[in-house]
Amino acid sequence: MIFTVLIPLLLACFVPFISKFKHKIHTGTVIFFIPLAIFFYFIQFIGSGFEPIRHTYSWIPSLGINFDFYLDGLSLLFVLLISGIGALVVLYSVYYLDRSEPLGHFYVYLLMFMSAMLGVVLSDNVFVLYTFWELTSISSFLLIGYWHFKEKSRYGALKSMIITIFGGLSMFGGFALLSVISGTTSIQTMIANADVILDNPYMPLALGFILLGAFTKSAQFPFHIWLPDAMEAPTPVSAYLHSATMVKAGLYLVARFSMIFGSYEWFFIIVSIAGIVTLCWASYMAVHQTDLKAILAFSTISQLGMIMAMLGFGTKAAVFAAVFHILNHATFKGSLFMVAGTVDHETGTRDIRKLGGLLTFMPITATLALFGTFSMAGIPLPFLNGFYSKELFFESTLDLEGGASGIAGFLIDVIPYLAVFGSIFTFVYALYFLFGTFGGKTQLDKLVKKPHEAPIGMLVSPGILVLGVILIGLFPSAVNGTFIAHAAEAVYGEPITKDVHFWHGWDSPAFQMSLVVVGLGALLVTTRRKWNGIYQVFPGKLSVNKVYDTIMGKLNAYSRTITTFYMSGSLRNYMAIILSTILVVTVGFMLATDGFTIDFGNLAPITFIELTVVLIIIASAIGTIFAKKNLAVILIVGVAGYGVSLLFLIYRAPDLALTQLVVETVSVALFLLCFYHLPDLKRLHAPLSTRTTNLIISVGFGALMTLVGISAHSSSWFETISDYFIETSKPIGGGSNIVNVILVDMRGLDTLFEITVLGIAALAIYTLIKFKTDKGGK
Amino acid sequence: MSNLAVLPIIIPLIAGIILAFFPKKLALVRTLTKVFIIGNLAVAGFSAWHVFNHGSIILETGDWAAPYGIIIVADQLSVLLVLTTNIMAAACAFYAPYSLPDRKERYYFYTFFFFLITGVSGAFLTGDIFNLFVFFEVLLMASYALIVLGGDKVQLRESVKYVFINLFSSMLFVTAVGFLYGTVGTVNMAQIAQRVQEVDQQGILTAIGILLFFVFAVKAALFPLYYWMPKSYAVPNPVISALFGALLTKVGIYSIIRVFSLIFIHRIDLTHEVFIWIAGLSMIFGVIGALSTNNIKLIIAYNIIPAIGFILWGIGVFNQEAVSGAIYYLIHDMIIKASLFLLVGTIAYAAGTSDLRKFSGLIHYYPFLGWLLFVSGFVLAGIPPFSGFIGKLLLLKGSLADEKVAVVIIALLSSLLILYSIMKIFIRGFWGEKDDTFEPKPVKGRTAPVVALLALSVFLGIGAEFIYPSVESISRYLLDPANYINAVLEG
Amino acid sequence: MEIIILILAGVLFATAIYNLLQKQLLRLIIGSVLLSHGAHLFLLTMGELKRGNPPILTEGISEYTDPLPQALILTSIVISFGITSLLLVLAYRTSNENNTDNMEQLRGNENE
């Protein structure tokens, strides 16, 4: 199985090579055989004797990350959709994409996607699933941005990436949490231990994380906004990724995990609400669109919402209907996208306001569209698969069982009405799409090209899909008996057998709902112009898109404001923030750990000379602040330095005293050299508040250091290691000046690198001075 | 065999000195640089192999037994970091001739470069806290020299800030070491650890620990101490930015790992808890910084901050998985940051500007650069199967096992924004219409090192099975300080 | 006496930091010099002050002042000297190049 998943990815590496010959042979013609082969490989598994298959290949076993492929009924349904529709889409693209386009890129992305999507639905390992999941987002990003010279493509690509990767990361968090809770990375093992997960207090969080992933990917309200913008992608991509496969990954995820969370009441509440709201909102919005693909995008969103809602219901009937509709939606929506692409290709526009009357020019395309739209609308005709699943949907909304909490009970009451509402608008936009494009008057003057029927090759793929629509409609039990039943069983956990009939009798409530839909829908279609103004009122100016644009805009603007606020470039501000942070946190820690101690025993006596020196140093240190002349300040700091070296002398550190003396002298000379010619110090005319802050920080910091110093000095718990140095200095080190022996022997490494530091400093100074004057070289 | 431990410090030192003698003979200098760096890389590789197979190498310099002399401790963490350092240093050495003007190369670039490596390797290897200070100074002094190399207005200006802030933290370092010596009477890290444990980190010790943390945090560029960093890393030549971005901040975070896994581990409820908050804030403010600018070099520089936040997060959580994650992330980030700085430097060179508002559609001329950037973005954001993912996965699991959820959410969101900040460059700079008047410049020599680093980075992710057991063994070793203490004091 | 020296070191830190928070380069450098004095005095006090003789082995004397802090300070003095010299030259070049020694005028902008 690993080969079927990775083959598209591996072969993608050869595409740039193949695409070199694109003028001899369209790259797509070669690629076509890849999904076709995968399709035929998997088709062998259909049958009543199907048992789940598992193949495992190690990847990072020590982290529990393995290519653990698991093929059950649900995966099989998706795998066949991915490869089957994939093959048709590639075939369609051969006629849709001109050879002057960068075909290599297109097919590389497409194959990347195919691998990723197969990986998503076959992986049993959550982290591998996540890996493929992100890869689908990435390839989708690249495909939407395929015509990246268009501003709208770039916008759409970024939007889809931000939203889907946001969801992906959230899902990743959920997976990590689940794997921590359950101690496994395998979904099937998690399902087996569902009770452990359900008992964990963090389960709701994990569920929330995962649902966020599913909702963003499957474009559920309010994350649906990326899908309409994703229509900037070439139409084959829209048909494939953004209608038949990738957007269904979220459904797949919810279906997969419903075995774990299904019994949790909030799972029902959240998923149903998300689904039903999406269904209603998107179908309502679809009627308002003018771009053919936008109508289809909103239609896809609403259909995804419907399936999502059914997965949320989680009843036998609902699960069965959901799975069935995944298949049906792929067939009719895939064909409709191709129809829209064909219309665009042959007329040069997708604007429904400019189209109309194309029936006479493109009769075959129109026929295909007729089947697609009628199936989508759920018109009760025995050869349309859409009707069956719509009817099953209505049935499932009616047999929901009462929940414990008030919300669930309320939901159960209103869901049937919302379902009818959403379906009415589905009916309306389906007919609007059909008649707006093919019916009415032609407006040839508004079209870029003179329309004519598409080449036969372009009609093959949608034709095959429409054939699927009809065949499933005529013989629903052919697929339902084994294929769909297996898929539903994988979601529900027990075998589901469902006999799907066309005719349930006039008294069937679901059929009555269908009749209401058709009746009211027809009424709304005919009077569309009269009530179209409602969109000005609702949603009017409300739009989730605006929220997204505002967030993205503000994200940049606010981050700029924040950053320029504190990244002022002013050293003083930087220092002030750094110092105050250290001050506050360290004081906090001292208080929290009761760190301060003071011990007046074991102190050296205070002598007059020392005190004098100390006072001189203090005086000169403070003097540096008030000195106004360069010369003065340099000399004052010199005094402080000499004072320190005097202290060293008093405290029995002759080597230090000497070194300090030399260093101080040289430093003062250097100071004079560099700053004698510079402008004099100015009065400190900083505002009072700045000066006060400076004062507080500096005094506070000094005090802190003193306090820590006193405490450290008062807490000498151990003998120092110096006694050893005193003992061994002569016998081992061979010198009587212990400090020198330490420096050159015990800590010789320090000294070596101290000299290195000096050396680098010297070289750096040389470079600094010389580089300016040396104008040689380039 | 124990001298092996000190070789990665000595070889670059000698190399630096030798190259200082004939800076004008550029061809020779470049060749020798490559020879030395590859030699050093081989030595580092060998010592890593040796340590992972035969245990830590302890070198008592001057034959003065621990804890009296300075001890060089080549344990698994140290050698792994030294090896990584040399890998990316090698990449920089190969990139440098293309990117630096000859004149800068003549002005001892390679000498400073090797001294920087000396300081960094020394800091990773030393087992003595004062010696750590000395190595810090070596690498800082080398970095001062590198940052001012060329002496443009902007460079001088930013380097002044850089020098002052680091100077302050150095002096704080000396003082804190003094305080530590006052309480436990030693500067040998193993012995400090032993003694701090004996008195149960009571009294003033935690406060001293926090002072040390801040010293390292300034170098590591953690919130809110990183102000000096983005600008001063973005202004120098890309090679220098890469060295800084990949090494300097990492030395800071390494020191935090070392000190807070070995010495100050008895008040984890206080110290490490605060680390998690600082980590979270670093992630937030780091990405905010990265989103705030249109300067592509600055975008990368700001991205250092959340990465350091991720690493600190692991130390804060302080369990097996989180520490493994932190180390994995550390290694990953050293490589990808170097690669990104070099890459963005190349892009800025190719585009003629680093202002994102001033170029677009580069992919028509530099498709390869574009795809490198694209992949780098995913590597950086930790999207699987790349290397950042492994580190992030471990951090996430460690953190969740410890029921620290808020920081997980922050980390996930910041990953998204990190990705966005890089993709912004890709979308705005590379996508777009073809500009027919544009004249592309050759960038082949500059891309090779980037490709090598990126390939390694990808391998770190896909081939995690080869690396992870070593990282896990490091974190197991770190979580039990007795390993280190015994190796030094009783070995 | 130790406490007085510790207070002195604290005062040196305080004045140093006050200088570091100023605008003019020269003051900042002065600040850094004072800072290193403070640090060294802290370090020195951490060994005991005036207990015994200077750490130069002499016949008949067994009490010596702690030699290790002295060795460390010596290293640090030399390093600080190196940095101060570099800083001086850097400051000189910076103020020449940018025509100001006022750090507030050395803020810079984003794209350069």
Distance CA A643, CA A613 (A): 6
Tell me the mean pLDDT in the region C34-42. Answer: 93
> Tokens in use for A529?
């112009």
Tell me the mean pLDDT in the region A713-742. Answer: 86
- For residue A730, the one-letter residue type is K
Residues in chain C closer than 8 A to A581 (CB atoms): none
Residue C110 predicted with pLDDT over 70: no
Tell me the backbone φ, ψ of residue A514, rounded to 5 degrees: -60, -40
Whose CA is closest to B91, among B242, B232, B233, B236?
A: B242
> Tokens in use for A54?
């598992």
Amino acid A120: pLDDT: 94
Average model confidence (pLDDT) across chain C:
85
| Chains linked to B by 3 or more Cβ pairs within 8 Å | A, C
Nearest to A618 among C8, C40, C78 (CB): C8
Q: How confident is the model at residue A773 (pLDDT cuts 50, 70, 90)?
A: low
SS (H, E, C) B288-314: HHHHHCCEHHHHHHHHHHHHHHHHHHH
Segment (H or E) for A142: helix A126-144
Q: In this complex, do C86 and B171 lie within 8 Å of one another by their Cβ atoms?
A: no
> Tokens in use for A770?
């010389």
Distance CA A64, CA A67 (A): 10
Tell me the mean pLDDT in the region B97-117. Answer: 89
Average model confidence (pLDDT) across chain A:
87
Helices (H), B185-246: 189-198, 205-220, 229-234, 238-243
Indicate the domain borders of chain A.
264-532, 541-565, 571-720, 721-778
Q: In this complex, do B171 and C32 lie within 8 Å of one another by their Cβ atoms?
A: yes
Percentage of chain A exceeding pLDDT 90: 42
Q: Among A163-177, A348-362, A491-505, B335-349, which stretch is predicted with the lowest mean pLDDT?
A: A491-505
Average model confidence (pLDDT) across chain B:
91
Q: Among A564-578, A748-762, B127-141, B311-325, which stretch is predicted with the lowest mean pLDDT?
A: A564-578
> Tokens in use for A568?
């002022």
Amino acid A684: pLDDT: 56
Residue B450, domain extent: 2-489
Tell me the mean pLDDT in the region A576-584. Answer: 92
Nearest to C94 among B156, B177, B298 (CB): B156
Q: Among A541-545, B76-80, B160-164, B228-232, which stretch is predicted with the lowest mean pLDDT?
A: A541-545
Q: Does C88 touch chain B (CB under 8 A)?
A: no
Residues in chain C closer than 8 A to A674 (CB atoms): 88-89, 91-92
Amino acid B190: pLDDT: 94
Tell me the backbone φ, ψ of residue C30, rounded to 5 degrees: -55, -45
Residue B428: DSSP 8-state: I
**Which of the listed ranges A13-17, A19-23, A524-528, A589-593 does the model predict with the highest average pLDDT?**
A589-593
Tell me the mean pLDDT in the region B238-245. Answer: 91
Tell me the mean pLDDT in the region A297-302. Answer: 93
Q: In this complex, do A778 and B214 lie within 8 Å of one another by their Cβ atoms?
A: no
Counting beta carbons within 10 angstroms of the beta carbon of residue A687, is it exposed (0 to 12), middle (13 to 18) or buried (19 or more)? exposed
Amino acid A406: pLDDT: 78
Q: Percentage helix, strand, coil, to 5, in chain C?
A: 70, 5, 30
Nearest to C14 among A660, A702, A761 (CB): A702
Q: Does A709 touch chain B (CB under 8 A)?
A: yes
Chain-centroid distance, C-alpha B314: 16
The string of DSSP codes covering A185-220 is -BHHHHHHTHHHHHHSTTHHHHHHHHHHHHHHHTT-
Distance CA A394, CA B273 (A): 54
Whether the Cβ atoms of residue B312 and residue B325 lie closer than 8 Å to each other: no
Q: How confident is the model at residue A85 (pLDDT cuts 50, 70, 90)?
A: very high
Amino acid A20: pLDDT: 82
Amino acid A102: pLDDT: 86
Q: For residue A737, list its beta bridge partners.
A: C56
Tell me the mean pLDDT in the region B261-269. Answer: 92
Amino acid B443: pLDDT: 85
Best mutation target among B227, B264, B415 (most A Cβ atoms within 10 Å) is: B227
Residue B44 predicted with pLDDT over 60: yes
Q: How confident is the model at residue A685 (pLDDT cuts 50, 70, 90)?
A: low
Residue A399: DSSP 8-state: T
> Tokens in use for A215?
């909702």
Residues in chain B closer than 8 A to A774 (CB atoms): 103
CA distance B15 to chain A (A): 13
CA distance C14 to chain A (A): 4
Number of domains in chain B: 1
Q: How confident is the model at residue A778 (pLDDT cuts 50, 70, 90)?
A: very low
Distance CA B487, CA B73 (A): 9
Give the pLDDT confidence of A600-654 residue by residue, as tens digits: 877 878 888 889 999 999 999 999 888 878 788 888 999 999 999 999 998 888 8
Our separate counts of H helices and E strands in chain B read 21, 2
| Chains linked to C by 3 or more Cβ pairs within 8 Å | A, B
* 3-class SS of residue A69: strand
Tell me the backbone φ, ψ of residue B71, rounded to 5 degrees: -110, 135
Give the pLDDT confidence of A5-18 residue by residue, as tens digits: 888 888 888 888 88
Tell me the mean pLDDT in the region A248-253. Answer: 94
Domains in chain C with CATH codes: 2-52+62-103 (1.10.287.3510)
* 3-class SS of residue A383: coil
Torsion over CA: A541, A547, A548, A550 (sign): positive
Determine how many CB atoms are found less than 10 A away from the CB of residue A643: 24
Tell me the mean pLDDT in the region B11-37. Answer: 92
Torsion over CA: A305, A307, A311, A313 (sign): positive
- For residue B404, the one-letter residue type is K
Q: How confident is the model at residue A676 (pLDDT cuts 50, 70, 90)?
A: low
Whether the Cβ atoms of residue B433 and residue A149 lie closer than 8 Å to each other: yes
Residues 196-225 of B with CB under 8 A from A: 198-199, 202-208, 210-211, 214, 218, 224-225
Q: In this complex, do B144 and A589 lie within 8 Å of one another by their Cβ atoms?
A: no
Residues in chain C closer than 8 A to B151 (CB atoms): 93, 97
Q: How confident is the model at residue B1 (pLDDT cuts 50, 70, 90)?
A: low
* 3-class SS of residue C102: strand
Give the pLDDT confidence of B387-398 residue by residue, as tens digits: 889 999 999 999
Tell which CATH classification among 1.20.1070, 1.20.120, 3.40.50, 2.60.120 matches the domain A571-720: 1.20.120
Q: How confident is the model at residue A453 (pLDDT cuts 50, 70, 90)?
A: confident
Distance of CA B273 to CAs A118, A586, B267, B279, Å?
42, 14, 10, 10
Residues in chain A closer than 8 A to C107 (CB atoms): 568-570
Amino acid A254: pLDDT: 94
Residue A515 predicted with pLDDT over 50: yes
Distance CA A125, CA A115 (A): 16
Higher-confidence position of A529 and B306? B306
CA distance A491 to chain B (A): 27
Amino acid A378: pLDDT: 86
CA distance C43 to chain A (A): 9
Give the pLDDT confidence of A754-764 residue by residue, as tens digits: 999 999 999 99
Tell me the mean pLDDT in the region C33-54. Answer: 86
For residue B322, how many C-alpha atoms fall within 13 Å in the half-sphere facing its CB? 26
CA distance A148 to chain C (A): 26
Distance CA A638, CA A646 (A): 12
Q: How confident is the model at residue A527 (pLDDT cuts 50, 70, 90)?
A: confident
Give the pLDDT confidence of A380-433 residue by residue, as tens digits: 888 888 888 888 898 888 888 765 567 888 888 888 899 999 999 999 999 889
Nearest to C46 among B171, B182, B295 (CB): B182
Residue B15 predicted with pLDDT over 90: yes
Q: Does A742 touch chain B (CB under 8 A)?
A: no
Q: How confident is the model at residue A777 (pLDDT cuts 50, 70, 90)?
A: very low
Distance CA B245, CA B240 (A): 8
Amino acid B138: pLDDT: 95
Residues in chain C closer than 8 A to A647 (CB atoms): 5, 41, 44
Distance CA A765, CA A664 (A): 19
Residues in chain B closer than 8 A to C111 (CB atoms): 294-295, 354-355
Residues in chain C closer than 8 A to A648 (CB atoms): 44
Percentage of chain A exceeding pLDDT 70: 97
Percentage of chain B exceeding pLDDT 90: 71
Segment (H or E) for B122: helix B110-125
Cα dihedral angle (A28, A30, A36, A38), rounded to 10 degrees? -110
Give the pLDDT confidence of A329-359 residue by residue, as tens digits: 999 999 999 999 998 888 888 888 888 788 8
Residue A32 predicted with pLDDT over 80: yes
Residues in chain B closer than 8 A to A571 (CB atoms): 160-161, 164-165
Q: Percentage helix, strand, coil, to 5, in chain A?
A: 75, 5, 20
Best mutation target among C81, C93, C98 (most A Cβ atoms within 10 Å) is: C81
Residue bearing tokens 């004098």? A612
* 3-class SS of residue A37: helix
Residue A58: DSSP 8-state: E
Amino acid A776: pLDDT: 42
Best mutation target among A58, A740, A749, A770 (most B Cβ atoms within 10 Å) is: A749
Tell me the mean pLDDT in the region A50-57. Answer: 88
Closest residue on chain C to B352 (Cα): C112
Q: For residue C53, list its beta bridge partners.
A: C64
Tell me the mean pLDDT in the region C10-36. Answer: 91
Q: How confident is the model at residue B137 (pLDDT cuts 50, 70, 90)?
A: very high
Residue B22 predicted with pLDDT over 70: yes
Tell me the backbone φ, ψ of residue B237, rounded to 5 degrees: -60, 145
Entry pTM: 0.93
Higher-confidence position of B420 and A380? B420
Q: Does C32 touch chain B (CB under 8 A)?
A: yes
End-to-end CA distance of chain C: give it in Å, rounded.
53
Residues in chain B closer than 8 A to A66 (CB atoms): none
Amino acid A404: pLDDT: 59
